Amino acid sequence: MRAFYGRALTDPVIGFLFTDVAKLDLEAHVPRLTRFWETILLGAQSYGGGAFRPHLELNFKAQLKQGHFDRWLHLWDMTVDELFSGAHADLAKAHAHRVAQAFEARLRSFELQQDPLAVPGLPVVQHYGPESQSQ
């Protein structure tokens, strides 16, 4: 995790998403990421929670594009290939590609909604002020 995020945080394509937009606290985030991947790769069932919602919230701040996902996957694959080999390494790369594809598709589906604030699981935003009284 640390090797990958060491690259991602300083990457000229996606680094700003972690440092400037998400303001990622790596020390707090690494244990959660580790639980996610040990659940996926080792069946540990130590991860609880949804991985998509933080990415949806990030997308509202700075739209995640195909190129961001491609770069994330490139860095992920490169890091896994440098440090690991075998069935678990292959599974880590395959799962990362599946997750990235699914996340990107879900993010695009939210962009197509009539009201992007009406996202299931997120609070409804009420607007108050002079312009809302005329409606």
The predicted model gives 126-133 an average pLDDT of: 44
Residue 97 lies in a domain: yes
> Each residue of 64-118: pLDDT tens digit?
999 999 999 999 999 999 999 999 999 999 999 999 999 999 999 887 774 545 5
CATH number at residue 41: 1.10.490.10
Residue 66 lies in a domain: yes
Residue 57 lies in a domain: yes
- H-type alpha helices, the chain: 2-10, 15-16, 26-42, 52-61, 66-83, 87-111, 130-133
Alpha-carbon distance of 24 to 67, in angstroms, equals: 20
Residue 52 lies in a domain: yes
Give me the domain span that covers residue 64: 2-112
Alpha-carbon distance of 11 to 30, in angstroms, equals: 18
Residue 69 near residue 77 (C-beta atoms within 8 A): no
What domain count does the chain have?
1
Residue 125 lies in a domain: no
Alpha-carbon distance of 51 to 47, in angstroms, equals: 10
Q: What is the pTM of this model?
A: 0.79
